[in-house]
């Protein structure tokens, strides 16, 4: 007799509850139901917690920016279509220049280079730029420009003479030469209004020679110089002073300025003012880092750039050699701009060079003619 039988005898042949099949099945069902119930309870609890967290996140207050907190700067404005137009693009683009040492401008730079090398230009001479006089209400530079000479399709040369007005005797001798030359008078010269008026009466075009900061502090550019770091209103005040000294000019070019013309911030102020006044800009190119061309184009200011310095060496022979290089450049590219100064050697060389220029196959023009050619404002004959 086994142990189970003995237990049953002692219990009066009664089967224990845990050994009854119906009881076992009931227990198993109870355990399963309990497990499902616990799972449902846990699931409901988790869902409620997640909803609570999401609601808290949605109702969280936005971060507070104090008055002292600077908001992020706005993106720079895109230039307008008018500012990006290439209407101010010159016939000959200013290069990475390396001027000759010797003149008041080129001394700042100190590199010995005879001619500034430009981007490729058309090998054939440009079409003759004869145009009618500008109508009333045209830009100031056009109203003050000399009539475009008849060129007959010849290569054109513009001669700009800087630093005028301070040395009256040599300035007057220069103004007596056969024109049209482009004469640029110093803003701080005495009696500059009368001197420039007389020069215009002799058939020359006028420009304002504006002092700008050189790289070296050892050079003195003169009174009311435009300097890097000046507030815009002070740059405008100094420029306004220079432009008020006389009238009848087509625009400005820089006196010295190797540092200032390389400063985009300062040049933007200058170009905005020239655009407002309807004036042109000629870059004397005293720095290989000049931003004159790109800022002038951006602001729609008519402009051109110097190609040859005539009198780094003031000797007559040197100036004549530089004039020959100017002719060679004009013959190759169709146009050339040379800059000289009122030195005895320059005056003598020009006096002998000018009368035979046409016979050698060139046309002498004011600088405004070359600007017109670049702006597309000229028309074929």
Q: What is the pLDDT of residues 17-27, one digit of tens each?
A: 555 556 555 66
- Cβ partners under 8 Å of residue 104, min gap 6: 162, 163, 219, 255, 256, 341
In percent, how much of the chain has pLDDT > 90?
Answer: 61
pLDDT, position 25: 56
pLDDT tens-digit profile of 67-87? 333 444 443 333 333 333 333
pLDDT tens-digit profile of 313-356? 999 999 999 999 999 999 999 999 999 999 999 999 999 999 99
**Residue bearing the bigger pLDDT, 61 or 12:** 12
Q: What does the alpha-carbon distance between residue 163 and residue 6 come to, in Å, rounded to a whole number? A: 137
**Residue bearing the bigger pLDDT, 276 or 6:** 276
Q: Between 292-299 and 264-277, two packed helices, what is the crossing angle to 10 degrees?
A: 40
- Above 80 in pLDDT, residue 232? yes
Average pLDDT, the chain: 77
pLDDT tens-digit profile of 129-154? 343 444 444 699 999 999 999 999 99
Q: What does the alpha-carbon distance between residue 253 and residue 281 come to, in Å, rounded to a whole number? A: 6
Using CA atoms, how far residue 18 sits from 3, 8, 251, in Å, is 16, 14, 115
- Above 60 in pLDDT, residue 64? no
Q: Report residue 281: phi and psi, to 5°.
A: -130, 130
pLDDT, position 374: 80
The candidate with the shortest Cα–Cα distance to 88, out of 373, 381, 347, 380, is 373
Average pLDDT over every residue of 213-217: 93
Using CA atoms, how far residue 107 sits from 33, 179, 183, 309, 343, in Å, is 102, 28, 21, 11, 16
- Above 70 in pLDDT, residue 30? no
pLDDT, position 42: 56
- Exposure class string for 329-361: b at 16+ Cβ within 10 A, else e: bbbebbbbbbbbbbbebbbebbeebbeebeeee
Other beta carbons less than 10 A from residue 380's beta carbon: 10
Q: What is the CA radius of gyration of the chain?
A: 42
pLDDT, position 73: 43
What's the pTM value of the predicted model, to 2 decimals? 0.68
Model confidence band, residue 2 (pLDDT cutoffs 50, 70, 90):
low
Using CA atoms, how far residue 233 sits from 210, 238, 251, 314, 341, in Å, is 17, 9, 20, 39, 31
Average pLDDT over every residue of 172-190: 97
The candidate with the shortest Cα–Cα distance to 369, out of 332, 337, 330, is 337
Average pLDDT over every residue of 282-293: 96
- Please report which residue ranges of the chain form alpha helices under DSSP H: 3-10, 21-58, 81-84, 140-144, 168-175, 192-201, 232-243, 264-277, 292-299, 316-333, 344-353, 367-375
Model confidence band, residue 103 (pLDDT cutoffs 50, 70, 90):
very low
- Above 80 in pLDDT, residue 159? yes
């Amino acid at each position: 007799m086994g142990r189970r039988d003995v237990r049953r005898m002692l219990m009066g042949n009664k089967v224990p509850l845990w050994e009854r099949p119906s009881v076992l099945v009931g227990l198993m069902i109870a355990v399963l139901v309990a497990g499902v119930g616990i799972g449902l309870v846990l699931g409901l609890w988790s869902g409620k917690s997640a909803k609570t967290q999401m609601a808290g996140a949605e109702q969280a207050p936005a971060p507070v920016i104090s008055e002292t907190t600077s908001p992020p700067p706005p993106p720079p404005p895109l230039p307008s279509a008018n500012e990006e137009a290439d209407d101010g693009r010159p016939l000959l683009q200013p290069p990475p220049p390396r001027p000759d040492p010797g003149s008041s401008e080129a001394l700042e730079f100190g590199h010995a280079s005879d001619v500034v090398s430009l981007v490729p230009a058309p090998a054939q001479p440009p079409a003759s730029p004869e145009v009618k006089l500008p109508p009333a209400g045209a830009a100031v530079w056009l109203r003050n420009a000399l009539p475009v000479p008849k060129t007959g399709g010849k290569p054109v040369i513009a001669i700009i003479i800087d630093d005028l007005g301070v040395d009256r005797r040599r300035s007057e001798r220069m103004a007596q030469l056969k024109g049209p030359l482009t004469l640029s008078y110093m803003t701080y010269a005495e009696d500059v209004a009368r001197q420039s008026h007389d020069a215009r009466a002799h058939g020359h075009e006028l420009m304002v020679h504006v002092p700008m900061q050189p790289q070296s502090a050892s050079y003195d550019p003169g009174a009311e110089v435009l300097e890097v770091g000046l507030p815009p209103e002070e740059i405008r005040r100094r420029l306004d002073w220079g432009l008020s000294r006389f009238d009848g000019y087509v625009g400005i070019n820089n006196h010295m300025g190797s540092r200032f013309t390389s400063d985009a911030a300062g040049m933007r102020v200058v170009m905005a003012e020239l655009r407002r006044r309807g004036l042109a800009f000629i870059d004397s190119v005293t720095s290989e880092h000049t931003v004159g061309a790109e800022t002038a184009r951006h602001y729609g200011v008519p402009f051109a750039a110097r190609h040859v310095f005539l009198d780094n060496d003031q000797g007559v022979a040197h100036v004549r050699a530089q004039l020959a290089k100017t002719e060679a450049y004009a013959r190759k590219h169709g146009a050339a701009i040379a800059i000289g100064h009122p030195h005895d050697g320059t005056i003598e060389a020009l006096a002998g060079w000018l009368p035979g220029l046409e016979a050698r196959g060139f046309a002498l023009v004011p600088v405004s003619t070359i600007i017109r050619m670049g702006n597309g404002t000229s028309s074929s004959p």
